[in-house]
Amino acid sequence: MTIYDMLIWGGAVLTALGLAGILWCILAVTRARRARLDDAAMRATMQRVVAVNMGALAASVLGLMAVIMGIMLR
């Protein structure tokens, strides 16, 4: 296994983790909406979810960039 293969597989794992984080965000917001929380509780939930969503999106982007770089350099 070369360094490029590790870059590709590492990027794929990072992308999968980011995707799992995005799916968690969707489920968390759906649960919060179904619970019909008051405005303050919904705002607090959404602030937490937005922070996780940004991190998950960044992880997905970095993972995809690693996959592309591994494929191009291979």
- Sequence ranges of the domains in the chain: 3-67
CB 13 within 8 A of CB 63: yes
| Rounded Cα distance, 22 and 51, in Å | 11
Separation of alpha carbons 57 and 59, rounded Å = 5
Q: Residue 74: its pLDDT value, please?
A: 87
Tens digits of per-residue pLDDT, 9-68?
A: 999 999 999 999 999 999 999 999 999 999 999 999 999 999 999 999 999 999 999 999
E strand map for 1-74? none
Task: Report pTM.
Answer: 0.88
User: How far is it, in rounded angstroms, from Cα 54 to Cα 73?
Assistant: 28
Q: Which helix (H) or strand (E) holds 35?
A: none
pLDDT of 71 > 90? The answer is yes
pLDDT for the residue 47 = 96
